[in-house]
Chain A
Amino acid sequence: MEAETSTPLFTVGQEIATFLISCGTLSKAWEESLLANNSENFSVNEYEGVAYVAFPSFHKIEGFMVKESKYGEGNIQTDNKVFSGLLKGNDDHPALVHQGALKLFLHIMENTDFQAQMQIYTDSKQRKLKPIIFVGHSLGGAVATLATLWVLEKRLRLSSPFCITFGSPLVGDVGFVEAVGRENWAGNFFHVVSKHDIVPRMFLAPFESIAEPLITILPYWQGIMGNDSKTVPDSLIQDACRTLLNNVLQHTYTETYYGPDSLRELDGVTKRSPYRPFGTYMFCSSEGASCIDNSETVLKMIHLTMQSHEKPYDNIIHDCLSEHVGYGSVMKHVIEKSISGERVAKLDSESSYRMGMSLQLEAIGIGAQNDNAPIALQIARDMENKHNTNVAKLASELSGKQCSMAEVEWYKERCEKEDGITYYDSFRKHNDIDANLCRERLCGFWDNIIEMWKRNELPSDFQSQNKWINAGTAYRRLVEPLDIAYYYRMSKGTGNYLSDGRPTRYKVLQKWMEEKENTRGSRGRSGRTKFASLTQDSCFWAHAEEASKDLENLKQDHHQKLESLEMFEGYVTRLINDRNISSDVFLDGSSFMKWWKEWKKYKQNQIPGWSSPLYKIMESESWKG
C-alpha cells in the first residue's frame, strides 16, 4: 500500500475548547479548585463517578520564592526519589522544575495523608478504577501538574489521570517537554489560560523582577479566592501590577522573538528562562476560546495574546488582576458565545484550514493584523504534517523490509540445516551475497530512521511506540550477528566490535527497548522452557569473539585476561539458565563450541578435576533436551 501524506484539512482547537467548556467538566474543575482553597493542602471529591483531586491556589510568596537559581528552576530528582530518572531530556540531562512548586508537592507527599488517599484510586488490583482529575489554580496548578506526572510516571494506574490547571505558571523545562512527548503523555495535561492573566507568563521573567510586586498582589488574590469578596484593588496593588506586567512583557518578548534555538547560543550572555509549556493550552478571551498543543507555538501565543493593543494600558492592568482569579466568568462567557452563535469578523477564504486558523486566532483574541501568530500556527502544523507523513512512509517501507528479514531468517536456517553451522560462523567465514544484500538493505533502512529521529523528524513518542520497538528488536537480534561477523571478517581479528565497531543504530535500538522494558515493569513473565529462537543479547557473538582472543592471550601468559574470561563464562551460564540463548550456538564447530573446548582444556590443565556450572551444563548436554 502506498504511503499517504496525512495533511490535516481542519484545525480542531476551537471545537475541542468549545466541547470541553460546554460539557461542564471545566466548570466543575474550576469549582473544585475554588473549594480547595478552604483546605490547606488538597481536597478530594467525587462527582458523577469521577474523582477530582484539587489543590489550593497557594497564593503565598513562600511558594514562589526560590533563591537558589535565577528562575527558581532545579533538578526534578530529589533524594527521596519521588520522581525517577525517566524524566529527562533527549540529551539525558534530568528535567528541571520550579523548585517552589516541587517543594509544595513534596510537602504534600510527605506530611499529609495524600498518598494514603490516592491509594483507592491507584490500587492496581481493582479492575475498574474511577477516572481521576488533578485540578489546581495558579501555583496549585503547577502542583497538580506534578501530582499527575507522579501518577503517570510511577504507572500507578492502567488508565491515565488527567490534569486541568487554571492560570498556572510554567513549571518545567525542555527536558520535561521531551519526556512528556516521549511517553505520549501530552494529551493528559490541559491548561486554561485567560488572555490577560499574568501568572502563566510570570516565570519567563527572573524571580528578582517579579518578587516585589508579587508580595503586594498575592494577598489581594488570596482574599478573592478565599472568601469570594470582590474587593477593588487599591492604587498600591495597581502599581505593583503595572511593574509586574512591564517586567514580564519584556521577557516574554525576548522569549518569543529570539526563539528557542538562539537561546542556547546566547547562553552565558543572558540566561533565559528555562520554562517551556507542555500539554494542551486553552487560551480564552472575550471572543471565545481555542486550544493549541505545540510547545513552541504555545510559548509564542503566551506572549502574543497578552500583547494586545486594543485596550488602554490601565484596563489591561485591571484585567491582569481580575482574570487570574476570574476563570469562572471567563468560561461562562465562552459558553454564552457558543450558545448564541455570535460572530464578529467575516473572513474571506475557501480553505478549511485557513478559515479554521483565522477563527482560532480570533477566538483567542489575536486580531488578523498580527502576522506572527498565523506563522506560528503554520509552523506547528507543518511540523505535525511532516511527522505524520514520515511515519506513514516508514511504516509502509517497514512492511516491505519484512521480506529481507525473512530472507535472513531463511539464510540462518539453510546454514543450520544444510551446512550444520550457525549463520554467524558461515557469514564470518565467507560472504553470502544474498544475505549481505539483505543486511545492507536493512542497515540503510534503520540508519535512516535513527537519523530522522535525531533530526526530530519523527513524532516525539516514536521511540516508545511498541510497533517500532518490536520491529527494531527483531531486526537487531536477527541481523546484528551478521554485522559482527562482517566486522571480524574484515578486521581480521584486530578490532574490538564492542568498543570500536558497534554501529549507533544498534546502540540506540537497544536503548529504546531497555527504556520501554523499564516502564513495563516486571509483569510476571514466566521463565522459558525452550531456548529462544534468537539469542536475546544481540552482541553475544562479539562477546564470544573477544573471549576467543582473550583465551589466546591467556595462553601466552597474559593473566589479566583470566578475569574477563571467567566473566564471559558466567554470562553464558546465565544466558543458558534463562534459556535466553538460541540453540544454534551449540552446533558442533561453532565459534562458541570451539572456545568452550579450548577453555575446558585450559582449565583442566590448570586445575585437574576442574568443574563449573557451565561445565556441568556442557558435559550433560542438557541444552539438547
Chain B
Amino acid sequence: MGESVSVFSPSLLSDAWELSSSVYKSQYVNCSYVRSVIRSNLVVFAFRGSLIPNSATKYGEYQVKDGFLDGVKDGNNQRASVHQGALSQFEDIWSRSDFQKQVIEDHEKGNTIVFTGHSMGGGIAALATLRMLEKQRQPKSVFCITFGFPLIGDEILARGVRRKKWADQFCHVVLRRDVFSRILLAPSISVSKPLEVLLPYWNRSMQSRADSVGSTDIPMAEAPPGGIAEFVATVVQHCSAVSNYTSAAKMSPNNPLIAAVKPLVKLSPYRPFGYYLFCSSSGAILIENHYAVLPILYFSLQTLGANLEDFILQHVNYGYILPNSLQNIVKLSELSDLPLSDAGSVHQDSRITTQLDALGLGIQNCPARLALRAAGQVLKQQSENLSILEKEYPKKMETPMDKLEEYRLQCLRNDTGYFDAFKKKQRGNVDFQANLNRLELAGWWDEIIQNKFDKDELPDDFQCKKEWVTRGTHYRLLVEPLDIANYYRLGKNEDSGPYLTHGRPRRYKTLQKWLENYEEPLQSPSTKLIQDSCLWADVEELACSMQKNEYKDEKRIDLENRVRALTDSHGLCVEDLMTGESTFKTVVNWLWKQMTPVDQEASALRSIIYHPQQTPQI
C-alpha cells in the first residue's frame, strides 16, 4: 500500500491515539500538550484543544496574517483562512518558548516529528504541522495524525497543501458517525446551543476514561444528553449542502445555475486536506483522493437505521473502536469505476465491499456511489490531460520555439533587435513566419491555461512542475516582446489602453505567477533573454509620450526601476535592446535629454547609455 501506510502504520496510529487521549488526564489539566519519544528518532506531540465559540464570522473562519502559511496563497494572492479558535489556541502554544524550542530542537536533531490530537486538539496538531512543514528540513520528516478532526482550513489552504505535496503527511482518523468531525460545516450559530451541553459532556467522558487507564475499576459511562435529534439533523443537512455543492460543481463544471447561486449562498469555507482514514467497527478505508472526502463525510453520516446516541458517543469512542478497525485497513484508490450494482460488485475486492457497506456507502446508497465516482473521475481526467500535454509538447511546441529563437538571432545578424524587426516587419516572409509561430504558440498556451489549468483540469501541482515552469518562462520571455510589438504596431493601445493594464494576455500573467511562486532555481535556458518580458511595454508607452512630446517623470522612473531590477539580477540582454536603430535606444536618448544632470547621475539607464557599443553575439 505504498509509503503512506508505512508511515501511518496501525501501531503508530494506536500510539498516537494513546497519547492524544492521555492529554485529557486530570494531571495534565494545566498543560495543553504532552511530548513523548515513541522510539528513537520519533517524537510525538499531542495536543488538547477546545471548540471556542466565535461569532465574528459565520463559520468562525479567519484569514491568516503574514508570517504563517505565506506559501499557500491562491492565484490572486489571497491568503488562506483557518478556524480562528484553532488558530488562537495554536498560537498560544507556539508562542510559548519552551514548546517552540523543544519542537525545533527535536527537528534539528533529525527526528521525525508527529503532531497528534483528538477533537479540536487535532486542529491544533494540523496547524503545528503546517507551521513546521514550512520550515521542514529533511523531506517528509513532519507528520500529523488526528482523531475526530473538524475541518479547519479553507480551499486555498487545501490547494496549497496539495501543490506542495504535503497531503501524504496528514492522516485524519474519522469514525463513521462522529458528528464532531463535521461540525464546522454548519454555521456556528446553528449548533452553539446544543454544544453548550455537549462539549462539557465530551470533555468529561474523555477525562474519566483517561484517568481510569491502568486502574481496575471501569468508570460508569455517562449517558449522552438528550434532545440531540435536531442537532444531528442540522449537522447532516449542512454536510449535505457542502457535499452536494462540490459534487455538482465537479460533475458539471460550467453549469450556469451553480455560477449564479454561488454569491448568494455562504457555505462553510472548510475543505479537507491530507489523507483520511474512515473507520467503522469492522475496519477502515484509507482515502487519498481529497474530492472523495466531503461526500464520505456526508453520506456516511446519514441517519437511516442509526442509533442517535451513536452520533454523540462515537466522538469519544475512538479508544473502543480503533483497535478493531486498525486491524483491517483497506485503501480505496480507483474510484472512477466503483461498482453501482450487484453485477458490478462481483469484480470488486470483497474487503472493500465490506468496508464500504460498513460506512453506509454500499450499492444501495447509489447517490453516494455516484459522488465517489465523480471524485475519481476528476483525478483520472486530470492525469489523462497531463499525459496528453506531455505527448504533444515536443511534437507541437518545440519547432515554433526553435524557429523564434532562430528568428531572434537572424535579426541580430541583420543589425536589429527582434522586437524592432517584428514591429517594423520589413523583411516580409521572415517576419510573417515569425508571426505564424507566435500565433501557434499563443493558441497552444491559451488552450492549456484557459481551457485546462483555469478549469482545474490539470493536476493541482501542474504549476509547480519544474519542466512546465521552465517551458512557460522560456516561452514568455522569448515571445511576449513580439506580442507587445504587435500590440503597439497595430495601435491597439489607442483602442484599448496601455498593454500592461489593458492588453496583456492572461497566459503571460499566469505564467509569470507560476515562476514567482516557484521556489527552486530553474535551469537557465541556453540563450540569454531579457528576464522581464514587460520591459518593452514600458518602452513603447514612453515612445508614445515621445511622439506627443509629453515627458513625465513617473513613466521614466517606471522604466528605470525595471532596468535597475534587471541589472541587479543580471537579467538584461543589452544586444536585444541596443542593436541597430532600436526603439529602446531612441527612447532612452530622448529621456536623457529631458533629465536633469542629477537625475542622470542616479539613473539606472546610465550604464546602458555608456555601455560599450554592442556587437551582436552570434
Q: A residues touching B (Cβ–Cβ < 8 Å)?
A: 1, 8-12, 14-16, 18-20, 22-25, 48-50, 131, 133, 159-160, 162, 184, 186-188, 190, 280, 291, 293, 335-336, 338-343, 346-352, 355-356, 359, 399, 402-403, 406-407, 410, 413-414, 417, 528-533
B440: which A residues are within 8 A, CB to CB?
A: 403
Any chain A CB within 8 A of the CB of B519?
no
Which B485-500 residues have a C-beta within 8 angstroms of A?
490-491, 494-495
A464 → B minimal CB distance (Å):
13
Are A346 and B251 closer than 8 Å at their CB atoms? Answer: no
- Determine the distance from Cα of A531 to Cα of B491 in the docked complex, in whole angstroms: 8
B256's contact among A11, A50, A186, A349, by CB below 8 Å, is which? A186
Q: Which residues of A contact B342 (CB under 8 A)?
A: 348
Apart from the given pairs A16-B255, A25-B264, 10 other A-B contacts in the complex at a CB distance below 8 Å: A1-B444, A10-B251, A12-B251, A19-B244, A23-B265, A338-B244, A339-B302, A350-B343, A530-B494, A532-B491
Q: B340 interface residue, CB < 8 Å from A?
A: yes
Cα A351 to Cα B339 in complex, Å, equals: 9
B334 CB, min distance to chain A CBs, angstroms: 14
Complex: A410 Cα to B432 Cα, angstroms? 7
Known: A280-B257, A406-B436. A341 touches B365 (CB 8 A): yes
Residue from B245, B344, B392 within 8 A of A350 (CB atoms) = B344
Q: Are B267 and A23 in contact (CB under 8 A)?
A: yes
Chain B neighbourhood of A188, CB < 8 A: 256, 260
Q: Is B443 an interface residue (CB 8 A)?
A: yes
- Set of chain A residues within 8 Å of B299, measured between Cβ atoms: 341
- Cα of A339 to Cα of B266 in the assembled complex, Å: 20
* Complex contact A48–B266 (CB within 8 A): yes
How far, in angstroms, from A568 to B408 measured CA to CA in the complex?
46
Is the pair A187, B494 in contact by a Cβ cutoff of 8 Å?
no
Residue contacts A-B, CB under 8 angstroms, 13 given: A9-B251, A10-B251, A15-B248, A23-B267, A24-B241, A25-B265, A188-B256, A338-B236, A351-B340, A402-B439, A407-B432, A528-B495, A530-B491
A528 and B428 CA atoms in complex are apart in Å by 28
B374 CB-CB contact with A under 8 Å: yes
Within the complex, the shortest CB–CB distance from A348 to chain B, in Å, comes to 5
Residues on B with C-beta less than 8 A from A11 are 251
Say whether, besides A341-B303, A533-B491, A16 and B340 are in contact (CB < 8 Å). no
Name the distance in Å between A341's Cβ and chain B's nearest Cβ: 3
Q: Are B251 and A184 in contact (CB under 8 A)?
A: no
Identity of the chain B residue whose Cβ is nearest the Cβ of A356 in the assembled complex? B370
Q: List, in ascending order, chain A residues with CB within 8 A of B58's CB.
A: 48
What residue in chain A is nearest B369 (Cβ atoms)?
A: A355
The closest CB in chain A to the CB of B266 belongs to: A48
Contact B491 A12 (CB under 8 A): no
Q: Which residues of A contact B265 (CB under 8 A)?
A: 23, 25
In-complex Cβ contact of A22 among B238, B251, B252, B392 (8 A):
B238
- Are A8's CB and B264's CB within 8 A? no
The dominant DSSP class at the B interface is helix
Shortest C-beta distance, A26 to chain B (Å), equals: 10
Give the residues in chain B near A280, CB-CB below 8 Å. 257
Contact with A along B441-480 (1 / 0, CB 8 A): 0011011000000000000000000000000000000000
Cβ–Cβ contact A50 & B264, under 8 A: yes
Q: Are A19 and B245 in contact (CB under 8 A)?
A: yes
Which B residues touch A10, using CB under 8 A?
251-252, 370, 373-374, 377
Q: Do A352 and B240 touch (CB < 8 A)?
A: no
| Contact between B343 and A348, CB atoms less than 8 A apart | yes
Give the Cβ gap from A206 to chain B, nearest Cβ, in Å.
32
Could you say which residues of chain B place their CB within 8 Å of the CB of A1?
A: 392, 444, 447
Partner of A187 from B233, B255, B340 at Cβ < 8 Å: B255
By a CB distance below 8 angstroms, the chain A residues around B251 are 8-12, 15
**A427–B63 alpha-carbon span in the complex (Å):** 63
B475 to chain A, nearest CB (A): 16
Q: Which residues from chain A contact B439 at a C-beta distance below 8 Å? A: 402-403, 406
Do residues A23 and B241 form an inter-chain contact, with CB atoms below 8 A?
yes
B341 lies within 8 A of A350 (CB): yes
- Cβ contact of B364, chosen from A49, A162, A346, A417, cutoff 8 A: A346
Instruction: Give Cα A327–Cα B379 distance, bound, in whole angstroms.
Output: 39
CB distance from A501 to the nearest CB of B (A): 29
Q: Which residues of B contact A342 (CB under 8 A)?
A: 304
B 352-374 to A, binary, CB cutoff 8 A, 1 in contact else 0: 00000000100111110111011
Smallest CB-CB separation from A528: which chain B residue? B494
Closest to A400 in B: B443
Question: Bound state CA distance, A156 and B342, in angstroms?
Answer: 54
Number of interface residues of B (CB under 8 A): 64
Q: How far is B250's CA from A147's CA once the two chains are assembled, in angstroms? A: 32
Q: How far is the CA of A18 from the CA of B371 in the complex (A)?
A: 13
Given A22-B240, A410-B432, A528-B495, A352-B340 contact (CB < 8 Å):
yes
Point out the residue from B244, B303, B339, B370 that lies within 8 Å of A16, measured CB to CB.
Answer: B244
- A526 to B248 Cα, complex, angstroms: 43
Interface residues of B in 298-320 (CB under 8 A from A): 299, 302-304
Write out the residue numbers on chain B whose beta carbons fall within 8 Å of the beta carbon of A343: 364-366
Q: Are A131 and B444 in contact (CB under 8 A)?
A: no
Which B residues are CB-close (under 8 A) to A350?
339-341, 343-344
Q: Give CA–CA (A291, B604) in the complex, Å.
A: 63
A349-B341 contact given A9-B377, A402-B439, A529-B494, CB 8 Å threshold: yes
Given A22-B238, A293-B257: A131 and B263 interface contact (C-beta under 8 Å): yes
From residue 417 to 446 of chain B, which have CB atoms closer than 8 A to chain A?
425-426, 428, 432, 435-436, 439-440, 443-444, 446
How far does the alpha carbon of A186 sit from the alpha carbon of B258 in the complex, in Å? 11
Contacts of A403 in B (CB 8 A): 436, 439-440
**B509 vs chain A, min Cβ distance (A):** 18
**Pairwise interchain contact B377-A355, C-beta atoms closer than 8 A:** no
Chain A proximity mask over B205-224: 1 for CB below 8 Å, otherwise 0? 00000000000000000000
Bound-complex Cα distance A444 to B27 (A): 84
Q: For the complex, give the distance between the alpha carbons of A406 and B369 in Å.
A: 51
Partner of B244, one of A22, A336, A340: A22
Residues 386 to 408 of chain B near chain A (Cβ within 8 Å): 392
Q: Which residues of B lie under 8 Å from residue A349 when comparing CB positions?
A: 340-341
* A469–chain B nearest beta-carbon distance, Å: 15
- Chain B residues within 8 Å of A190, by CB: 257, 261
Give A143 Cβ to nearest chain B Cβ, in Å: 20
At the interface, yes or no: B237 with Cβ under 8 Å from chain A?
yes
**Bound CA span A55–B94, Å:** 54
Would you call B247 an interface residue if the criterion is a C-beta within 8 Å of the partner chain's C-beta atoms? yes
How many Å lie between the Cα of A407 and that of B365 in the bound state?
59
Determine whether the beta carbon of B244 is less than 8 Å from that of A15: yes
A444 to B369, CA, bound (A): 47
Interface centre among A10, A159, A293, A399 (most CB of B within 10 A): A10
Q: Complex Cα distance A50/B340, Å?
A: 40
Chain A residues closer than 8 Å to B258, beta-carbon distance: 16, 187
Q: Is the CB of B237 within 8 A of A187?
A: no
Q: Using Cβ atoms and an 8 Å threshold, which residues of chain A touch B245? A: 15, 19, 23
> Closest CB of chain A to B105's CB: distance in Å?
47
Which single residue of chain B is at the shortest CB-CB distance from A19?
Answer: B244
CA distance A413 to B392 in the complex (A): 33
A608 to B443, CA, bound (A): 58
- Complex Cα spacing A352 to B251, Å: 11
Note all chain B residues with C-beta closer than 8 A to A351: 340
Q: How far is the CB of B589 from chain A (nearest CB, A)?
A: 23
- Residues from chain B with a CB closer than 8 A to the CB of A532 are 491, 495
Q: Which residue of A lies closest to B233 (CB)?
A: A339
Give the chain B neighbours of A529 by CB distance below 8 A.
Answer: 494
Closest to A402 in B: B439
| Given the contacts A131-B264, A187-B257, A339-B303, A16 and B240 also touching, CB distance less than 8 Å | no
What residues of B have a CB within 8 angstroms of the CB of A184 in the complex?
Answer: 256
Does residue B199 face the partner (Cβ distance < 8 Å to A)? no
In the assembled complex, which residues on chain B have CB atoms less than 8 Å from the CB atom of A406?
A: 432, 435-436, 439
